[in-house]
Amino acid sequence: MRLAPPFEPLGQQITIALPGAQVVFTTRRGGHSSGPYGSLNLGRLTDDSSELVERNRQRVEDGLGVRLAYVRQVHGSDVIRLERIDAPLQEADGQATTLGGIAPTVLVADCLPIALAGDGAVAMLHAGWRGLAGGVIDEGVAAMRELGARGPLHAAIGPGAGPCCYEVGDEVRAVFEASAHRGANLDLKAIARARLEQAGIEVTSDVKLCTMCAPELFFSHRRDHGVTGRQAGIVWRT
C-alpha cells in the first residue's frame, strides 16, 4: 500500500495526524470475517456474522486505544454534537466532539469519510453525493465552531469512489457544477475539496485512493453489487 505524505501506514490501516488529532481510515485487511466480508468488516447492517463484526470492532478499538462512537447513517447532512461517552445511537451522518478518549466514527463503502480537526474539537463526516449536496460539510464545520473551535480547521479525505470509476446518471450530475464531471463519472473528492475550501477549511489532505479500484484493500458497495463489508473513518483528540 503506497501512501503519499502526510498519510502513513498504521499496520494494515491508514493514518494521518491533524492539529490536535489523529485520524485512521481502515482498510478491509486485518480482521476475522470471510467471503465478501473478508476480513475487517465493521458494518453490522450486512449479512456477515454479528459475532465476527463485533470482534472486528473490538480489534480496532484495542489497537487504537480509544472508544469508537457510531451513528445510524441515513445519507443526510445532520451532524450531532457528541457530549457523552455513553450517548445512545442516533440517526446522523456526522459527529463532532471535544471529548477525549472517544472517536467519532463513520462507516463507508464508496462514500467519503472526511475528518475535521482544530482548536480542541474533532469531527468525522459521512459524505456521499447526497450528503455533499445536502451540506454535510457546512454542518460539520458549524458543529466544530459551535463546540468552540475558533482557529484554523484542517481536513482529511479518506478512501472513496474516485472519478475513475464512479459513474452516475444525469439526475445526479445535474446536482453538481460541471467541473465535477468526468464524462459520465462524478468526482466526489473534487466536490468535497471545493466545499471544504468554501466552508473555510485552511488545509485539506486527500489520500487519493479509490475504493472501487482496489478490491484487495477496500470494500465497495458499487463494485460488489451491495454484497460487501464496511470500512471506517475514525478521528480522536490527541
Q: How far apart are CA 129 and CA 111, in angstroms?
A: 8
- Between the CA of residue 92 and those of 52, 107, 187, 233, what are the distances in Å? 25, 12, 24, 15
**Cβ atoms 222, 34 nearer than 8 A:** no
Condensed to tens digits (0 to 9), the pLDDT of residues 97-113 reads: 999 999 999 999 999 99
Helix (H, G, I), strand (E, B) or coil at 57: helix
**Cβ atoms 106, 93 nearer than 8 A:** yes
Q: Residues of 10-22 as b/e, b for ≥16 C-beta within 10 angstroms?
A: eeebbbbebbbbb
User: In DSSP terms, which residues pair with 25 in a beta bridge?
Assistant: 14, 233
Identify the structural domains of the chain with CATH numbers, from first to last: 8-237 (3.60.140.10)
pLDDT of 1: 85
Phi, psi of 38 (to 5 degrees): -70, 130
Q: Per-residue pLDDT for 200 more than 90? A: yes
**Cβ atoms 137, 96 nearer than 8 A:** no
This prediction has a pTM of: 0.98
- Between the CA of residue 207 and those of 154, 156, 178, 184, 193, what are the distances in Å? 14, 8, 23, 23, 12
pLDDT of 111: 98
pLDDT band at 85 (very low <50, low <70, confident <90, very high): confident
pLDDT band at 178 (very low <50, low <70, confident <90, very high): confident
Question: Among candidates 218, 221, 212, which has minimal Cα distance to 231?
Answer: 218
Whose grid coordinates read 489497537? 63
Condensed to tens digits (0 to 9), the pLDDT of residues 208-221 reads: 999 999 999 999 99
Condensed to tens digits (0 to 9), the pLDDT of residues 6-16 reads: 999 999 999 99
